[in-house]
Amino acid sequence: MAGESLTVDHLSVVFQARGGNHAAVRDASFEVGSRRMVGLVGESGSGKTATGLALLGLHDPSTTTIGGSARFGETELLGLPPQAANRLRGSIVGMIFQDPMTALNPLLTIGTQVSETIRIHEGLDRRNARERAIEILARVGLPDPAGRYRRYPHELSGGLRQRAMIAAAIACRPRLLVADEPTTALDLTIQAQILTLLRTLCVDEGMSVLLITHDLGVVGAVCDDVVSMYAGEVVEIGPTKEVLDRPRHPYTARLMASRPRIDGWDERLDVIPGRVPSASSSPTGCLFRPRCRQAREVCEETQELVTLSAGRRVRCIRAVEPDQVSFGAAAVAP
Amino acid sequence: MSTATSTAPPQARPPTGSDDHSGATTRRRAARVLRTAALRGGAFVATLVLATFVAFWLIQLVPGDPATAIAGENATPQRLAEIRAQLGLDEPLLVQYGSWALGALQGDFGTSLYSDLSVTSLLAQRLPVTLSLVACSLTLAIVVGVAAGVIGAVRANRATGKVVTGAATLGIAIPNFWLGLVLVTVFALWNPWFPATGFSRSGDGALEFLRFAVLPTIALGAAGVAEVARQLRGALLEVFTADYIRMARAKGVSGTALLVRHALRNASVPVVTVLGLLINRLVGGTVVVEVVFAIPGMGTLVVDAVKQRDYPVIQAVVLVMAVIVLIANAIVEILYRRIDPRIRSS
Ligand SMILES: Nc1ncnc2c1ncn2[C@@H]1O[C@H](COP(=O)(O)OP(=O)(O)OP(=O)(O)O)[C@@H](O)[C@H]1O
Ligand SMILES: [Mg+2]
């Protein structure tokens, strides 16, 4: 049963807009190993959500073109016919979202929204689904699950709503969970609780988790591996400890240096000078070059994602040069 | 209360649930419900008093004199004075209103100045006709309007959706009397499928009722169909982009369940507002439509009464229509609460 891993290969997500096409994800390849928790990090607009939505087939097909492949175990997730995709969503692949207030239906009770998943996929009747849902609510650490079952989202605090949403997403024990910034809307204490919960689900239930976040602190706390994304491209992959200790791509290093501090919580990562290049242009060379302090002439050539060692890949010329330097915190200090 | 936390910024939320309801809260809630009910009841009565009093006052402003209308142009001044005294028209306005209101409270609306029938018996004849016409039009507006709104939203980018939306935009602009005349001309005069005028009597059977009701129902309800369709389409298009729809899809919800349980329910909140306004408009519009189709309902009753200064009848009709509108609005309020738990708990 366990053992499936997610393999994303040359994934591209292109939005068709009136002003031209908009490549939100370009040729992204990465893995989420079985029972592993992988952090997908990047600045705002780097294509993290677009990647997550693509895995569940939640993009609007009339305005979005998806390319490449994403296999989970034996199953190809991309380009599934609608019926097959509906069967898969919620049962094999689940997703949770950033804001637990807007992602829960305000007119339905917590119980309805959790048992709905169970009734769809397991065809249980109302009573049995209710029992299962209350179990799940208890599992995610919701106090008084039977009482909360009858409550509406607005009657719960943010942290409890987030737990309820997680319960709805994992009610049928999906093997892969995409968590899109699940703690951004929460305060620090609750954030830690939710992350611990996700970690527990990963370890105890054998769920593979793709944790989307812009916060490397979160990644350091719970993730096994990191995928760093810039302007729709994967620029660095590796085990969390290695990447955080010794980032090999200047962008990842800068992400770390501009980590939000405890006191200035909602500070986003726009402290890296310069802006993400417009996704509609198709530039050549390293996309980070205009903002990179180590940029050189050679960076104008297109960079490949190069494997340094098993599970360690970087898209930067400096990482493969013999006289490579580390882009540790010292290197990025002004 | 728990609602306070939902509006507070995320950082300000307490770390644990603030959603416990103690006995004290329950008692306080009961007291609040009682107070609300008392306020509502007071507002209800006040509205009725105001509406009928304004009607009373307006009748006085209209040129012409019921006494002259009754006795004829050639009546002697004494005769006119006699009639006025008999009707109480020589009393001050407030006294007149007071005695009318006292009677109305006991179910006595007086006697029509012309037909010598009691106003109550006139209402008993006319009210069912108008009520059935309004009910049919409302049903039409809801059933067809909801269907059209859903099609307009679900197929927003396709031809069917655009046609439906265009028709709805047009439908709002068409006046009901004009539509009524067109319908009569086409479906009663050119093609004698439906009767041009009149209404079925009770006991005529459902088919006969429908034969008479179809054209006036369409004339009265068409604008409502368009309004409901337009509002619902707009609300649905907005709801479709909501996070909870994406979340529901991520759980595997699709098709009818997604549309009805998640999208339509949320989109129906603004539509209920429209329904409240629509009922008010239908009650007003029935006057015009009844005249066009010569239907013996409250509308034609009040038009004749105004022509003849038959003020007991006018007063009673105003009262009844105000009651209908108030009841309709109360029902809308209840609907709101049923649909949206956030309104229930605030
Ligand atoms: N439906 C859409 N149509 C057009 N462009 C879109 C759409 N959704 C996202 N984009 C664009 O695609 C790019 C990537 O967006 P995405 O939401 O994946 O970023 P993200 O990494 O999740 O950022 P954030 O941290 O702000 O959530 C952005 O430039 C965004 O403006
Ligand atoms: Mg995002």
Residue B272: which of B328, B332, B320 has the closest Cα? B332
| Local confidence pLDDT in tens for the 334 residues of chain A | 457 899 999 999 999 888 778 889 999 999 999 999 999 999 888 999 999 999 999 998 888 999 999 999 999 999 899 999 999 999 999 999 988 889 999 999 999 999 999 999 998 999 999 999 999 999 888 999 999 999 999 999 999 999 999 999 999 999 999 999 998 878 888 888 889 999 998 998 889 999 999 888 899 999 999 999 999 999 999 999 999 999 989 899 888 877 654 444 344 444 555 555 555 556 678 888 888 888 888 888 888 888 888 889 999 888 777 655 555 444 444 3
State the Cα–Cα distance between residues A86 and A89, nearest whole angstrom.
5
Residue B141: which of B278, B268, B264, B295 has the closest Cα? B278
Strand arrangement of the beta sheet that strand A6-17 belongs to: A20-32, A6-17, A64-72, A75-76
Residue labelled with tokens 């239907």: B295
State the Cα–Cα distance between residues A100 and A95, nearest whole angstrom.
12
Query: In chain B, which residue's Cα lies nearest the Cα of A178?
Result: B250
Strands A176-180 and A225-230: unpaired
Instruction: Work out the average pLDDT over B278-300.
Output: 93
How many Cα atoms within 13 Å fall on the side-chain side of residue A99?
A: 14
Enumerate the residues of chain B whose CB falls inside 8 A of the CB of residue A94: 250-251
Enclosing H/E stretch for A66: strand A64-72
Q: Which two tokens stand for residue B208?
A: 């006969």
On the question of pLDDT at B113 being above 60, the answer is yes
Instruction: Verify whether the Cβ–Cβ distance B2 to A155 is below 8 Å.
Output: yes
Other CB atoms within 10 A of residue A33 CB: 16
CATH 1.10.3720.10 positions along chain B are 120-345
State the Cα–Cα distance between residues B233 and B227, nearest whole angstrom.
10
> What are the Cα distances from residue B345, in Å, to A67, A214, B9, B33?
47, 36, 20, 11
Helix (H, G, I), strand (E, B) or coil at B230: helix
State the Cα–Cα distance between residues A240 and A248, nearest whole angstrom.
12
> Per mean pLDDT, which range of A147-151, B5-9, B61-65 is the poorest?
B5-9
Band (pLDDT 50/70/90 cuts) for residue B92 is confident
Instruction: Verify whether the Cβ–Cβ distance B16 to A157 is below 8 Å.
Output: yes
Q: What are phi and psi of A124, to 5 degrees?
A: -75, 155
Q: What is the pLDDT of residue B3?
A: 40
Mutate to test the pocket of ligand 1, among A12, A13, A15, A180 (most ligand atoms within 8 A of CB): A15
* Distance (Å) from the alpha carbon of B270 to chain A's nearest alpha carbon: 14
High-pLDDT (> 90) share of chain B, %: 43
How many Cα atoms within 13 Å fall on the side-chain side of residue A271?
A: 18
Tell me which residue in A56, A102, A151 faces B242 most closely, judged by beta carbons.
A102
What would the pLDDT profile of B67-88 be if each residue is shown by its tens digit?
Answer: 777 777 787 888 888 888 877 7
Q: What is the pLDDT of residue B311?
A: 82
Residue B149: which of B85, B60, B229 has the closest Cα? B229
Q: What is the pLDDT of residue A287?
A: 87
State the Cα–Cα distance between residues A259 and B138, nearest whole angstrom.
59
Residue labelled with tokens 């501009």: A258
State the Cα–Cα distance between residues A203 and B168, nearest whole angstrom.
55
Instruction: Verify whether the Cβ–Cβ distance B246 to A62 is below 8 Å.
Output: no
Other CB atoms within 10 A of residue A125 CB: 8
Give the residue extent of every domain in chain A. Answer: 100-173, 250-263+270-332
SS3 content of chain A, % helix, strand, coil (to 5): 35, 25, 40
Strand arrangement of the beta sheet that strand A312-314 belongs to: A93-96, A176-180, A208-213, A37-42, A225-230, A233-239, A312-314, A306-309
Q: What is the pLDDT of residue B17?
A: 42
Which contacts qualify for B114-123: CB closer than 8 Å, 24 or more apart?
B114/B70, B114/B308, B114/B310, B119/B312, B119/B313, B119/B316, B120/B316, B122/B301, B122/B313, B122/B316, B123/B298, B123/B316, B123/B317, B123/B320
Enumerate the residues of chain A whose CB falls inside 8 A of the CB of residue B272: none
Helix (H, G, I), strand (E, B) or coil at A268: coil
Q: What is the pLDDT of residue A327?
A: 53
What would the pLDDT profile of B234-288 be if each residue is shown by its tens digit?
Answer: 999 999 999 999 999 999 999 999 999 999 999 999 999 899 999 999 999 999 9
Enumerate the residues of chain A whose CB falls inside 8 A of the CB of residue B253: 86, 90, 116, 120
Q: Strands, DSSP E only, in chain B?
A: none
Q: Which atom of ligand 1 is nearest to the CA of A13?
A: 12
Type of residue found at B78: Q
- Say what the pTM is: 0.83
Mutation site for B-interface testing, chosen from A18, A157, A189, A263 by largest number of B Cβ within 10 Å: A157
ipTM of the complex as predicted: 0.87
Q: Which two tokens stand for residue B84?
A: 């006025």
Residues 6 or more apart from B273 whose CB is under 8 A from it? Answer: B332
Decide which of A329 and B94 is more confident. B94
Residues contacting ligand 1 via CB (< 6 Å): A 15, 17, 22, 24, 42, 44-50, 214, 279
Point out which residues pair with A11 in neighbouring strands.
A28
Strands A208-213 and A176-180: parallel
Instruction: Verify whether the Cβ–Cβ distance A107 to B249 is below 8 Å.
Output: no
Enumerate the residues of chain A whose CB falls inside 8 A of the CB of residue B15: 157, 159, 187, 189-190
Residue B113: which of B319, B321, B322, B316 has the closest Cα? B316
* CATH of region B120-345, choose from 3.40.50.1220, 3.40.640.10, 1.10.3720.10, 3.20.20.140: 1.10.3720.10
Q: Which atom of ligand 1 is nearest to the CA of A59?
A: 1
Residue A72: which of A173, A203, A174, A176 has the closest Cα? A176
